[in-house]
């Protein structure tokens, strides 16, 4: 298929096939990178905003080695696949639990679990995250729906 069959939204990195009403979308990742106050850099690919998704989001993330994300939680399930690096995942109401993860590991976090990953070792933590929500939402402990705020 030639590139003349593509319909690209200028500077958005969102590509659709002309005349295709199926909803299939390709998102060029470099256009949707965000830095977060709780420690991560994420490049959002699949969201309600980029694709019209109503039930899932997906991103590539990076946490520099030696960095620890601020404790936070999400009001939806989260799945993470570690591409590179190592992480020490602290989790629980008081971050009382800890488990180490490495490249090739899958991690599942149920909705509402407070967590704070820490990247350690010689390389940055790189991962893919998928969520059962169309947009990224996070709350700090003591805030948000889990606390009635």
Instruction: Say if domain 32-142 classifies as CATH 2.40.50.180.
Output: no
Q: What is the pTM of this model?
A: 0.81
From CA 125, how far away is CA 98, in angstroms rounded? Answer: 17
Give the pairing of strands 57-63 and 97-102: unpaired
> What is the distance between the terminal CA atoms of the chain, rounded to a whole angstrom?
51
Show the tokens assigned to 82: 């570690």
Contacts 24+ apart (CB under 8 A), 13-19: 14/50, 14/51
Give the C-alpha separation, 130 to 76, whole Å: 10
Lowest mean per-residue pLDDT among 9-13, 41-45, 98-102, 113-117: 9-13
Q: Mean pLDDT over residues 124-147, rounded?
A: 86
Domain boundaries, the chain: 1-28, 32-142
Residues 39-97 have pLDDT tens digits of 677 888 888 888 889 999 999 999 999 999 889 999 999 999 999 999 999 999 999 99
Both tokens assigned to 103: 């490249």
Phi, psi of 83 (to 5 degrees): -85, -45
- Specify the pLDDT at position 1: 44
Those residues whose C-beta lies under 8 Å from the C-beta of residue 20, and which sit 6 or more positions away, are none
């Amino acid at each position: 298929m030639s590139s003349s069959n593509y319909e690209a939204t200028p500077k958005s990195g969102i590509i659709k096939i002309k005349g295709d009403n199926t909803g299939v979308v390709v998102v060029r990742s470099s256009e949707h990178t965000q830095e977060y106050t709780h420690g991560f850099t994420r490049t959002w690919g699949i969201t309600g905003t980029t694709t019209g998704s109503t039930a899932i989001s997906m991103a590539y993330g990076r946490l520099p080695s030696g960095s620890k994300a601020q404790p936070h939680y999400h009001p939806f399930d989260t799945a993470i696949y570690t591409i590179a690096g190592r992480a020490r995942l602290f989790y629980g109401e008081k971050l009382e639990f800890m488990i180490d993860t490495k490249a090739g590991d899958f991690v599942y976090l149920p909705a509402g679990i407070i967590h704070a990953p820490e990247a350690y070792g010689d390389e940055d933590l790189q991962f893919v995250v998928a969520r059962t929500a169309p947009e990224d939402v996070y709350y700090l402990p003591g805030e948000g729906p889990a606390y009635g705020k």
